[in-house]
A and B are shown apart, each in its own frame.
Chain A
């Protein structure tokens, strides 16, 4: 198996200036009865996106045609709470390739990376500037360059470096997955077991 490759991305953004967005909001528990990875995108942010009768709520950003793009920009502490990878599947399924925030919850970060979604952690100040830029022009392009680990808003002349684990970076650029790697070192694992279990 492999994940989507990620090199650079230039796209308009969908802004979600709310803090502490937890995975229960990203995908509510009642959608977790599935046994495959497909189809979660339709229920991304379901309870914010649709009313009780399943009609789109006009004031939620995903229902606002002004905003579109492959980058989700969200408030601080995104993806907290439940470890459900379904949250990453929903974001991926909807078509996002990167999420920008000033803080990510640990498990969500891993889950994103394991699904080829790049979590871009920026400073609070830069995040505020990105929200401002989108406010001014909803079509403003944001550029994420994984090779150079930079995120920029070319139209505003602002850019910032972001951190990523070098191994994870390599995986994303090449579309590798951890399991392939671990299987490739199974001899080491066996040797470790033999030592530990004797």
Chain B
């Protein structure tokens, strides 16, 4: 019998029942909820006259719709305030733990899960948010669900799911200086397109992945949804255990030893078979930047936007529409293009390591006058750490300010909107039309490439600043 993949092992352990000719009933270990995709689910529970089945496995945080300034004041936008209050009410009624605004553990759901040790290897984790895939970096099955499914999990702690196919993406070798895990994932998406992973659960493997920190691994799994995958995952190892150890929700003492022993059994067996396998070389990857309106439209920063004859005939119209929106021409170089805004934050690159990298890069330099920069920590804990490490002072000395945690300009539900027609280099994950505000034009990049843009005022290759 062929060996099992990491995915198989976790999946099989969580199947409660199989529906004939249909999906599996999958047990969910952790359910994370936030204010935007849960109210209708709680409404549904009420209509059925039931309560949350396992409040002890459910954790809530408001993050999408909150201001990133003056968080001590009541939220001024009426609808946002109502939605955030609704979350609180629903959690109170159902006995669900919530880390509300100003709580020392508040933050973006995919940042706080890992940093509190809620996220652990071998678990099934869901949230009404597509970037739940982030948690897969710990060797868990984690994926985003819709609101009907949120209701399903609240009601039964289970989910009806068809078993996805498995894919392994191997990245071997060493990264060039100035190339980060964000560039790895943008590179892969540019190669396989935003639909390249649809129907699959992806395991990222290979020496380039294994050498990454947990923060960097999370960035990769975070964006697996941008290749269409159901989720992404990375086998747990010593780096994983080291990260989880001692965190608030992590097992302690004897339970810890037992847990680690189990987690060590999780990695894919040497003879495991995947439905599909892809290979990339780390040294082929440059700092990446997107030029279009989906995350697959990315190029190495020294490259050029494809010309029309390089685009598949059937996709030419979509391609043209996208470049029109961006105000770019086919064949243009990206380096030197103007930048109005820089956004550093989100569940992709709003962790302490990202702020450290940004701060180290801009230290002793000055923000370009034409650039407005929003540096938004992913959580209260990240914010506190940034203060403790002196990152705030470094930022301020260079003309930047540190805002308060939240999703912010990643999806622009709050006031942090990029104005129409303006260009933003963003460390978040989506460059869709209007994603950062109606008419906003987004270029996705790593924190280093964002830093290079922030001090030069144009798209710049971060490698030219690194000796």
User: Could you tell me the distance between the alpha carbons of A81 and B432 in the complex, rounded to whole angstroms?
Assistant: 9
Contacts A29-B411, A81-B430, A167-B22 hold; do A52 and B40 have CB atoms under 8 A apart? Answer: no
The answer to whether B146 touches A114 (Cβ under 8 A) is yes
* A147 touches B (CB below 8 Å): no
The answer to whether A20 touches B194 (Cβ under 8 A) is yes
A172 nearest CB across to chain B (Å): 12
The stretch that binds A, out of B78-86, B212-220, B232-240, B263-271, is B78-86
User: Could you tell me the distance between the alpha carbons of A86 and B150 in the complex, rounded to whole angstroms?
Assistant: 13
Interface centre among B151, B152, B158, B315 (most CB of A within 10 A): B158
0 or 1 for each of B303-336: is its CB under 8 Å from A? (1 = yes): 0000000000011011001000000000000000
Which residues of the partner chain A approach B25 to less than 8 Å between Cβ atoms?
182, 185, 188-189
The answer to whether A75 touches B39 (Cβ under 8 A) is no
Which residues of the partner chain B approach A52 to less than 8 Å between Cβ atoms?
420, 438
* B456 touches A (CB below 8 Å): no
Contacts A1-B48, A167-B21, A179-B152 hold; do A83 and B162 have CB atoms under 8 A apart? Answer: no
Number of residue pairs A-B, CB distance < 8 angstroms: 182
The answer to whether B65 touches A33 (Cβ under 8 A) is yes
User: Could you tell me the distance between the alpha carbons of A29 and B321 in the complex, rounded to whole angstroms?
Assistant: 21
CB nearest neighbor in B for A17: B317
The answer to whether A107 touches B315 (Cβ under 8 A) is no
* A106 touches B (CB below 8 Å): yes
Q: Which of B64, B199, B434 contacts A24 (CB 8 A)?
A: B434
- A75-95 at interface with B (beta carbon < 8 Å): 75-77, 80-86, 88
B6 nearest CB across to chain A (Å): 19
Q: Which of B21, B44, B144, B317 contacts A166 (CB 8 A)?
A: B21
Which residues of the partner chain A approach B128 to less than 8 Å between Cβ atoms?
83, 85
Contacts A80-B228, A110-B146, A168-B22 hold; do A1 and B47 have CB atoms under 8 A apart? Answer: yes
Interface centre among B77, B156, B412 (most CB of A within 10 A): B156
CB nearest neighbor in A for B407: A29
Contacts A25-B434, A167-B23 hold; do A114 and B149 have CB atoms under 8 A apart? Answer: yes
* B160 touches A (CB below 8 Å): yes
* B140 touches A (CB below 8 Å): no
How many residues belonging to B are interface residues under a CB distance threshold of 8 Å?
67
* B119 touches A (CB below 8 Å): no
* B94 touches A (CB below 8 Å): no
Which residues of the partner chain B approach A192 to less than 8 Å between Cβ atoms?
16, 27
The answer to whether B195 touches A29 (Cβ under 8 A) is no
The answer to whether A182 touches B160 (Cβ under 8 A) is yes
* B43 touches A (CB below 8 Å): yes
CB nearest neighbor in A for B200: A106
* B381 touches A (CB below 8 Å): no
Which residues of the partner chain B approach A111 to less than 8 Å between Cβ atoms?
146-148
The answer to whether A37 touches B430 (Cβ under 8 A) is no
Which residues of the partner chain B approach A105 to less than 8 Å between Cβ atoms?
195, 198, 228
The answer to whether A183 touches B156 (Cβ under 8 A) is yes
Which residues of the partner chain A approach B412 to less than 8 Å between Cβ atoms?
29-30
CB nearest neighbor in A for B437: A30
Which residues of the partner chain A approach B43 to less than 8 Å between Cβ atoms?
35-37
The answer to whether B146 touches A88 (Cβ under 8 A) is yes
CB nearest neighbor in B for A171: B22
User: Could you tell me the distance between the alpha carbons of A115 and B160 in the complex, rounded to whole angstroms?
Assistant: 15
Q: Which 4 A-B pairs have the closest CB atoms?
A: A167-B22, A85-B146, A35-B39, A114-B148
Q: List 5 A-B contacts (CB under 8 A).
A: A1-B44, A80-B294, A81-B130, A82-B130, A110-B146
Known pairs A24-B430, A25-B433 / 9 extra A-B pairs, C-beta < 8 Å: A18-B317, A20-B296, A76-B314, A106-B198, A124-B314, A167-B21, A182-B25, A182-B155, A188-B17
